[in-house]
């Protein structure tokens, strides 16, 4: 178990640029989640996948945000035309859900985005 | 809609004191799961405990204990004989199979030597 891996750890970008983050979940986990966390707040749900299917998206996820999990393994989160309000820690988590068992989320270290 | 409330924004205690972190949740589901996570200064969220809605038995793990009361929709977390290493932000979360996980705003615990 190598844990959830996120890349990059830090990203500084200028307003208006596009950024892409990558998440590699724990290999046997079928669910992958993206959360956003701003200073002093709890993680806010953005979206999640079961295998390659994107099952739910938050209203926080504007049309500038898109997430993919093309082969049901790693996932990417892209933000287009970044705004200063996008500055936050982007957290990826994975879990294993079979039947009615709801396993806990295992989080990565996050990608800290700063938009200048 | 699901909601988690952690009314205590910040708590400071002196080492070896006991401290209880409160968590109140709202859900219309009959089957759900409750979690506690720890976020130390390093930033990574660390899973502490999972409890399902059918199991109201309290749990103790070392210095940690959890009190789940469905009647008051609460899932409180107590640290006994606190240590400086317990200093962190603690999040309570609510989840349900087939839905996303909702986190509370967190309680920042500072344990002073």
Domain boundaries, chain B: 3-112
Give the residues of chain B that fall short of pLDDT 70: 97-99
pLDDT value of position A103? 77
Select from B50, B103, B105 the Cβ nearest to the Cβ of A104: B50
Q: Where are the alpha helices (DSSP H) in chain A?
A: none
Closest Cβ–Cβ partner in A89, A101, A106 for B47: A106
Q: Looking at residue A101, what is its pLDDT?
A: 60
Other C-beta atoms lying within 10 Å of the C-beta of residue A63: 7
Contacts of B2 in chain A (CB under 8 A): none
Which element (helix H / strand E) includes B33?
A: strand B33-39
- Specify the pLDDT at position A1: 55
Structure tokens at A6: 């996120």
| pLDDT of B43 | 87
**What's the gap in Å between the CA of B3 and the closest CA on chain A?**
12
CATH number of B3-112: 2.60.40.10
A-to-B residue pairs, Cβ atoms closer than 8 angstroms:
56
Find out whether B37 and B101 touch, Cβ atoms under 8 Å: no
DSSP-derived 3-state class of residue A71: coil
> Given CB atoms, is A17 within the 8 Å cutoff of chain B?
no
Task: Average pLDDT across each block of 10 residues of chain A; the chain has 116 residues. List them in order.
Answer: 90 98 94 93 93 87 92 94 96 80 84 97
How far from each other are the two terminal CA atoms of chain B, in whole angstroms? 41
pLDDT for res A49: 93
CA dihedral B46, A101, B95, B61 (to 10 degrees): -40
């Amino acid at each position: 178990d190598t844990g959830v891996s996120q890349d990059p750890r830090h990203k500084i970008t200028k307003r208006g640029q596009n950024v892409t983050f990558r998440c590699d979940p724990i290999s046997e986990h079928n669910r992958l989640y993206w959360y956003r966390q701003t200073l002093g707040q709890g993680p806010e749900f953005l979206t999640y996948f079961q295998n390659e299917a994107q099952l739910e998206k938050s209203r926080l996820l504007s049309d500038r945000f898109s997430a993919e999990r093309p082969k049901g393994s790693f996932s990417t989160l892209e933000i287009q035309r970044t705004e200063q309000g996008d500055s936050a820690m982007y957290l990826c988590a994975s879990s294993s859900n079979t039947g009615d068992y709801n396993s806990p989320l295992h989080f990565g270290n996050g990608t800290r985005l700063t938009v200048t | 809609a699901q909601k988690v409330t952690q009314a205590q924004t910040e708590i400071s205690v002196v080492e070896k004191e006991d401290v209880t972190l409160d968590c109140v949740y709202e859900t219309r589901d009959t089957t759900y799961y409750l979690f506690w996570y720890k976020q130390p200064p390093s930033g990574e969220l660390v899973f502490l405990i999972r409890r399902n809605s059918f199991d109201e038995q309290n749990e103790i793990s070392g210095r940690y204990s959890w009190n789940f009361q469905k009647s008051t929709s609460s899932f409180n977390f107590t640290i006994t004989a606190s240590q400086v290493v317990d200093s962190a932000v603690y999040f309570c979360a609510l989840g349900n199979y087939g839905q996303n996980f909702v986190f509370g705003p967190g309680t920042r615990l500072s344990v002073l030597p």
